[in-house]
Amino acid sequence: MSPRSASVNEAMRRRSRERLLQATVELIEERGYEATTLADITQRAGSARGLVSYYFSGKRALLQSAVHRLMAAELAAALEREPRTDDGEELLARAIDAMLGVSAGHTTLMRTHMASILQEEGFIQCPEQQRLAQLLRHTMTCWGAADPEEEYRLLRALLMGASVAMLLPGAPMPIHPLRAELFQRYGLPWESGAPPAGAEDYDPVAVPRRSPVGGMPPATRA
């Protein structure tokens, strides 16, 4: 039997890595971070235990990659869903709703992730995070940001802040006012994107504000 080609080997490695990432998401949502072991993850993924150390430096790095993969997948699906569009405002609205939706729909996972990136190891720029960043930068370019890189970094910070507010145990903030703040800053119509349940009954105009998003000026477009 002839040896596998390099492209076949690469595809197999990619699938193995993705199975590990998916298993990580599933198990942490089911059991929590501390109760999930690397052995559990490899068993769920149907992979050899050595593959985890081959791809990742440890469980924390695996967690961050798994969450970033989930976020990038949700974002890509939102940007590409039908009807397809190249309208910058609609794309940015979809992006914001997708990211808020991940926090709303994966509470345990996202609480663990936000705690993880504040640890000593900090923020890990894995391939999945780079893919997520690429999609958000492209969205800011389509929206017409005067400085797409700067606006991407600010949007990332604002989304992280909104996520923390939604996930705060004992005092979670509802999604609608957080969405309203972000939409106001970027001048987005309330009905655009993929409004969360109950958005039709929420009036963003009725909420008193002195200035957008913690006193920040509205985002600037080229």
Here the CATH number for the domain that contains residue 85 is 1.10.357.10
Q: What DSSP letter does each residue of 14-55 carry, written as one string?
A: HHHHHHHHHHHHHHHHHH-STT--HHHHHHHHT--THHHHHH
Q: Is residue 28 part of a domain?
A: yes
158 assigned to some structural domain: yes
Q: Nearest-5° angle of CA 38, CA 42, CA 48?
A: 115
pLDDT tens column, 138-181: 999 999 999 999 999 999 999 999 999 999 999 999 999 999 99
Domain count of the fold of the chain? 1
pLDDT in tens, 71-96: 999 999 999 999 999 999 999 999 99
Q: Is residue 82 part of a domain?
A: yes
Q: Write the CB contacts of 60 (distance below 8 Å, at least 6 apart in sequence).
A: 116, 119, 121, 124
Alpha carbon of residue 222 to chain centroid:
26
The C-alpha atoms of residue 71 and residue 110 are separated, in whole angstroms, by: 10
Average pLDDT, the chain: 90
Residue 206 placed within a domain: no
What's the predicted TM-score (pTM) here? 0.89
Is 45 within the bounds of a domain? yes
pLDDT tops 50 at residue 1: no
Examine residue 210 and state whether it is found in any structural domain, yes or no. Answer: no
Expressed as residue numbers, the domain containing 163 is 11-186
CA distance 143 to 86: 9
The answer to whether residue 33 is domain-embedded is yes
Question: Does residue 44 fall inside a structural domain?
Answer: yes
Angle at 55 between CA 64 and CA 35, to 5 degrees: 50
Phi-psi region of 216 (alpha: psi -120 to 50; beta: other; left: phi over 0): beta
